[in-house]
Amino acid sequence: MTSSEYINNTNNDQCPAQSLLKLLSGKWKPEVFRLAMNGPLRFSQLLQQLKGSNKQSLSVVLKELEEQGILRKEILQKKPLHIAYHLTEKGQTFIPVFKQLEELQAGINEIS
């Protein structure tokens, strides 16, 4: 699947939830989303917080999240170059459902 197909959900989904689940699934995406939810972050800051990750993987994830319209790059400073990633409007629409997932997990942890 090309990235444009990915963005436009042109795969014949019967299931509406699937395309959204796909946007946030993967090894690092949920964590990056959670961090971005609490404010814009720079590449190196993200990298520090993603224990076990590395810049190459982070690079891929950020690019995908950008292509999906969830994150946007912002140049904080030209010299020296500082860039921040922050949630787009579309990205922000995911916040409630993401928080609900967190609460649900908390509930599951209590029981088991």
Partner DNA sequence: AGAGGATGTCATCTTTTTCTGACCTATTGC
Partner DNA sequence: GCAATAGGTCAGAAAAAGATGACATCCTCT
Residues binding DNA (CB under 7 A):
1, 26-28, 42-45, 52-57, 59-60, 62-63, 73, 79-83
Whether 76 contacts 82, CB under 8 Å: yes
Shortest spacing between CB 53 and its own copies, in angstroms: 11
**Is-contact 83 43, C-beta < 8 A?**
yes
Kindly list the distances between the CA atom of residue 65 and the CA atoms of 1, 55, 79, 82, 94, in Å, as whole numbers in the listed order: 16, 15, 26, 19, 13
Q: In what order do the strands lie in the sheet containing 71-77?
A: 41-42, 82-87, 71-77
* 66 contributes a contact to its own copies by CB under 8 A: no
Residue 54 interacts with, from its own copies, DNA, none (CB under 5-8 Å by kind): DNA
One of 1, 4, 17, 80 touching its own copies (CB under 8 A)? 17
Tell me which residues touch its own copies (CB under 8 A). Answer: 12, 14-22, 24-25, 30-31, 34, 49, 51-52, 90, 93-94, 96-98, 100-102, 104-109
